[in-house]
Amino acid sequence: MKEKIFEFIDNSAALALELETELCKYPAISPANGGEGELDKCEFLQGWLKAHGIEKLERYDAPDSRAKGGIRPSLVATIPGKDDSANGSGDKNPRFWVMSHIDVVPPGEASLWNSDPWKLMITEGESGKKITGRGVEDNQQGLTSSVLAALALVKQGITPSRTVKLLFAADEENGSVYGVDWLLKNHPDLFHKNDMVVIPDSGNETGSDIEIAEKSHLWLKFTTKGRQGHAAMPNHATNAYLAGADLTVQLHYGLSEKFSDRDSLFAPDYSTFQPTKKEPNVPNINTIPGEDVFYYDMRILPRHPVDEVLKEVDRIIAEVEKKHGVTIKYEIGQRNESPPTPQDSPLVKFLSKNVEEVYKVKTRTIGIGGGTFAAFLRKKGIDCAVWARFDHTAHQPNEYALLNNIIGDAKVMALMMIAET
């Protein structure tokens, strides 16, 4: 059976290129980033899957008035398994999910691209065919691999050992408020505690890295308020920019020193506290600003509770307020923390076995500072592994994916659909 499935996948290069080509035409950008959302792309994908024989499809539409149609759609495809009478809830063959996302980030500066980011470009290289376009790796590579694996079964009349679920989610690039997080809150019965989940949204060039943990994410917006005045008379003003700059420095060094533990699972192996976005204050040079706004991106080792970090933030703010005579408030933009997937979990062992069979590499478990929607699932007690064979060109100009990675990853996913754990 394995040989039959692998032969189908090896002969599906044209099908993979067709799907990537069509998906690339839809700029499924969040309204938060100036786009219309995922509706057009989701409707295309839904129709394409049905036309190719995957008929059990369910749409879940999160309301969002900013988006086209007023919704942010996610799509679930199901291939019933041999144990489907129990709805895949037994311990022997738990349901197997591959979860990818259909939204993409904006292409950025057009002059940095060598081709139209919304039109797939195919070139030949040392590693075989390379496809270029926005979203082709993040996350259409994983999406396409999961579809090829499913079609290898459906087209050949093979019933998988376990029920297979493919999720094509909205809003991953902006925190999953209208995607996985919304699904967990509004459709909790969609997921089971013993589900096995692979999220093909990160990895390395050989396929050896299996991500089982993510740093906690904390995004903060700081607003400092003083008193506006003439720059020649600072004695009649309270410089909000100066206080904000002091706070920026105190947060970086103070938090880095207090939460200084190391963990070799991650790279970098420490918590990071980085000031990032800065909003304009006054338009002219000779005015002392009375308000200043800046942002922080914090990636915290899971061993440090986010509440403890926020307590230290409050302490540092109080010192800066007293020193400068200002008031400082902050808003939480994103907060996400989750436990790791155990290194010895059945999922990790099963994935590792099949990766090593297909790619002939020794796998290792890692943690990352970036974020995927695995964190939301892990908080609900669902084991997830984030894995793919990636060149890591996501969010860059001239983003590309390798056809050989799509084909190889599809084989790993197909093995996990048919093999016993």
pLDDT in tens, 145-185: 999 999 999 999 999 989 999 999 999 999 899 999 999 99
Helix (H, G, I), strand (E, B) or coil at 237: coil
For 106, counting Cβ atoms within 10 Å of its Cβ (0-12 exposed, 13-18 middle, 19+ buried), the class is middle
Nearest partner of 56 among 74, 82, 80, 86, judged by Cα: 80
Half-sphere exposure of 179 (CA within 13 A, CB side): 27
Residue 26's nearest CA partner among 144, 173, 146, 133 is: 133
Identify whether residues 227 and 141 lie together within a single domain.
no
Find out whether 248 and 289 touch, Cβ atoms under 8 Å: no
- Same domain flag for 184 and 234: no
198 and 224 co-located in one domain: no
Which CATH number belongs to the domain containing residue 264 in this structure?
3.30.70.360
pLDDT band at 259; cut points 50, 70, 90: very high
Of 309, 385, 376, 305, residue with least CA distance to 350: 385
Q: Is 357 among the catalytic positions?
A: no
pLDDT band for position 82 (cuts 50, 70, 90): confident
Identity of the residue numbered 346: P
Query: Annotated catalytic, 38?
Result: no
Shared domain check, 277 and 409:
no
Supply the range of the domain harboring residue 399.
2-202+372-418
Query: What average pLDDT does the segment 266-280 reach?
Result: 97
* Number of independent structural domains in the chain: 2
* Residue 387 and residue 201 in contact, taking contact as beta carbons nearer than 8 Å: no
CATH of the domain at 44: 3.40.630.10
Distance (Å, rounded) from C-alpha 197 to C-alpha 208? 17
| Same domain assignment for residues 247 and 311 | yes
Are both 97 and 183 inside the same structural domain? yes
Alpha carbon distance 201, 394 (integer Å): 10
Q: Is residue 350 part of a domain?
A: no
Residue finishing a domain among 336, 356, 387:
336
Residue 1 confidence (pLDDT): 87
Is there a single domain that holds both residue 150 and residue 24?
yes
244 and 316 assigned to the same domain: yes
Quick check: 421 pLDDT over 90? no
* 139 prior amide bond cis, ω within 30: yes
DSSP single-letter state for residue 342: P
Same domain for 187 and 303: no
pLDDT tens track for 207-254: 999 999 999 999 999 999 999 999 999 999 999 999 999 999 999 999
Q: pTM for this one?
A: 0.88
347 belongs to a structural domain? no
pLDDT in tens, 328-361: 999 999 898 999 999 999 999 999 999 999 999 9
How high is the pLDDT of residue 86?
Answer: 45
Domain boundary among 336, 364, 384: 336
Residues 331 and 275 reside in one and the same domain: yes
- The model's confidence at residue 88, banded by pLDDT at 50, 70 and 90, is very low
Q: Percent of the chain beyond pLDDT 90?
A: 93
Residue 90 has pLDDT above 80, yes or no: no
Of 172, 173, 195, 399, which is the active-site residue?
172
Question: Which SS3 state, helix, strand or coil, does residue 29 take?
Answer: strand
29 and 167 in a single domain? The answer is yes
Considering the candidates 20, 103, 173, 337, report the single residue annotated as catalytic: 103
Report the DSSP beta bridge partners of residue 368: 214
pLDDT of 91 higher than 80: no
Angle 2-195-138 from CA coordinates, rounded to 5°: 75
- The torsion angles phi and psi of 417, rounded to 5 degrees, stand at -80, -30
Q: Is residue 353 part of a domain?
A: no
